[in-house]
Amino acid sequence: MTESSDYESVQVFIGVDVGKDTHHAVAINRSGKRLFDKALPNDENKLRSLISDLKQHGQILLVVDQPATIGALPVAVARSEGVLVGYLPGLAMRRIADLHAGEAKTDARDAAIIAEAARTLPHALRTLKLADEQIAELSMLCGFDDDLAAQTTQASNRIRGLLTQIHPALERVLGPRLEHPAVLDLLQRYPSPEKLASLGEKKLAAQLCKLAPRLGKRLAADIAQALAEQTVVVPGTNAAAVVLPRLALQLITLRKQRDEVALEVEQRVLAHPLYPVLTSMPGVGVRTAARL
């Protein structure tokens, strides 16, 4: 996990079983003597205090079972204190834990296993390098993008559902085109069949051509034809006219946020050493590379 010279200089091995609010840390020296075995809060000052107290025994190696999310703070504090940092992958952790059959699984037990693995099985550990930091950032950004994608789908489906309820023919025209900014702009300005019909086909085309110069006239004709297919006003149409422009704005905002996140992801993917390798594979672009 580390250079052999680094590992040979380590005198204290801290195993941390990380938790959302509370971690459990076990520290042992090179001979296996336990120097610390307590729960401690997920708090910078407490973590610094622990590391500071143990520095008197020599060079420290801190190992966690999760380097990202709930384990990010202990890793960051250890690094700022000049401490060597590593982590024990889940598969290795489970295999080592199997050697302790009969012991009930507890945070204290897991922390002790991590500390002992750090002392006796350095080959089982992984070093946290810049690439791991980049992966943590990409994981966070991709997770947020997944959330935005789900919200985008939800908003789009809600718009299509409302249009289907109040005017099925209009939904058949506008629903498949919700990806186009001109359609969302139209729904913001004229969110009911009555308001769309009041424009007339020529004004409707002029409005659409502002954002869809090639599609505008044809789309206006399709909308006019759809409006002519239904004369009855369905109950709920007035309420839909209140909701639709807000959903359209929400969809515009969500897509803008996804574009902004995509730029952040692209910057980090381009800086990753594996980027040229990943994107050399057929069908792998920036978003796919980020997840890989």
pLDDT tens-digit readout, 174-233: 999 999 999 999 999 999 999 999 999 999 999 999 999 999 999 999 999 999 999 999
Q: Which pLDDT tens digit goes with each residue over 50-75?
A: 999 999 999 999 999 887 778 889 98
Provide the pairing of β-strand 22-29 with 34-41.
antiparallel
35 conformational bin, left if phi > 0, alpha if psi -120 to 50, beta if neither: alpha
pLDDT reading at 277 higher than 60: no
As a CATH number, domain 4-128 is 3.30.420.10
Euclidean distance between CA atoms 80 and 200, whole angstroms: 67
Please check whether residue 152 is in contact with residue 258, taking contact to mean a CB–CB distance below 8 angstroms. Answer: yes
Long-range contacts of 87-94 (CB under 8 A, 24+ apart): 87/63, 87/125, 87/126, 87/128, 88/15, 88/63, 88/64, 88/114, 88/117, 88/118, 88/124, 88/125, 88/126, 89/124, 89/126, 90/65, 92/117, 92/121, 92/124, 93/65, 93/117
* Alpha-carbon gap, residue 9 to 12, rounded angstroms: 9
Residue 164 CB partners (closer than 8 Å, separation 6+): 171, 175
Backbone phi, psi, residue 188, to 5°: -70, -40
**Nearest CA-CA partner of 146 in 70, 249, 289, 258:** 258
pLDDT at residue 267 in the model: 77
Q: What is the pLDDT of residues 133-173, one digit of tens each?
A: 677 788 888 889 999 999 999 999 999 999 999 999 999 99
pLDDT bucket at 39, cuts 50 / 70 / 90: very high
d(Cα 215, Cα 46) in Å, to the nearest integer?
62
Task: Starting at the earlier edge strand, list the strands of the sheet with 84-87.
Answer: 34-41, 22-29, 10-17, 59-64, 84-87, 126-127
Which residue ranges does the chain devote to CATH 1.10.287?
134-291
Q: Are the C-beta atoms of residues 32 and 96 closer than 8 Å to each other?
A: no
Topology of domain 134-291 in CATH is: Helix Hairpins (1.10.287)
C-alpha distance from residue 238 to each of 150, 165, 167, 242 (Å)? 27, 12, 12, 7
Q: Over range 268-283, report the average pLDDT.
A: 60
Residue ranges, CATH 3.30.420.10, the chain? 4-128
pTM of the model: 0.62
